């Protein structure tokens, strides 16, 4: 029961924090320059999370493609993102190449 109270309380706190920000933005004007900068926050945060997961699988730094099966698919995804500038093909190439490489490594033993 205590766990549920904590989860509900944290959910309400998160909702209140976001709602407060949304309501304030509606009442005060945000400079165009700040609005332009804020557009880059979600991709930067997502990139940081992904990079951490690619370089530190399981919590330890691994830069060897033979030990870290995420490096090659991540590099392929970066190339696709750079060339196409599209999200869906980037995710598809990254995930499919990761699954194929992991299956090949598992079959290899």
Contact 84, 90 (CB under 8 A): yes
Spell out the residues 6+ positions from residue 55 whose beta carbon is closer than 8 angstroms to its own: 61, 62, 63, 68
106 or 96: which leads in pLDDT:
96
What is the per-residue pLDDT for 97? 96
What is the per-residue pLDDT for 1? 72
Inform me whether the pLDDT recorded for 29 exceeds 80.
Answer: no
> Dihedrals φ, ψ of 40, to 5°?
-90, -5
60 or 85: which leads in pLDDT:
85
């Amino acid at each position: 029961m205590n766990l549920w109270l904590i989860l509900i309380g944290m959910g309400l706190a998160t909702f209140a924090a976001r709602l407060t920000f949304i309501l304030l933005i509606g009442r005060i004007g945000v400079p165009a320059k700040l609005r332009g900068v804020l557009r880059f926050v979600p991709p930067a945060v997502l990139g940081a999370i992904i990079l951490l997961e690619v370089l530190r699988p399981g919590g330890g730094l691994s830069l060897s493609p033979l030990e870290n099966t995420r490096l090659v698919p991540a590099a392929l995804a970066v190339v696709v993102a750079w060339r196409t500038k599209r999200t869906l093909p980037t995710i598809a190439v990254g995930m499919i190449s990761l699954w194929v490489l992991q299956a090949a490594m598992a079959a290899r033993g």
